[in-house]
A = this chain, B = another copy of it.
């Protein structure tokens, strides 16, 4: 996939830094390539639901941002990206030391881009386990 905006990586970083919720949750952008973005999040007790697992909404938050930015890497300069919709399947209790949401563009269009994200839990022994998967649609808005 060919990026239309040569400075997409810098723009993703700048936009990510401008998402206060990422700071609140402790999420960090760790990869921004053409069509692929990864966001990581360390486990914290204040992010959990009633059983001590990461709340599905937190999993969704990093997956959605990863999807949005993966779509954004392929959009022309001067665009904004917004989430149209997404669907998440929770595959197992979200347990781990760290979590990584990896989003990849499936189909980039002029207006709509379809993206998939997998969220992995990483244990103390560096085992990776797929805990959730998202399929979503992002829209390109020209400024």
Task: Using CB atoms and an 8 Å cutoff, list the residues of chain A in contact with chain B.
Answer: 15-16, 18-21, 23-24, 45-51, 55-58, 60-65, 80, 82-93, 106-107, 111-112, 114, 116, 130, 133, 135, 137, 139
Give the secondary structure class of A's interface. Answer: mixed
A-B residue pairs in contact (CB < 8 Å), sample of 30: A15-B50, A19-B48, A19-B55, A20-B48, A21-B49, A21-B57, A24-B46, A51-B80, A55-B61, A55-B65, A56-B60, A56-B83, A57-B58, A60-B60, A82-B90, A84-B84, A84-B89, A85-B85, A85-B87, A85-B88, A85-B90, A85-B114, A85-B137, A87-B87, A89-B106, A89-B135, A91-B106, A91-B107, A91-B114, A114-B133
A57 neighbours in B (Cβ, 8 Å)? 21, 57-58, 60-65
Contact A19 B60 (CB under 8 A): no
Contact A89 B85 (CB under 8 A): yes
* Shortest Cβ-Cβ A-B pairs, 8 listed: A57-B61, A87-B87, A18-B50, A21-B55, A91-B107, A85-B89, A20-B46, A60-B60
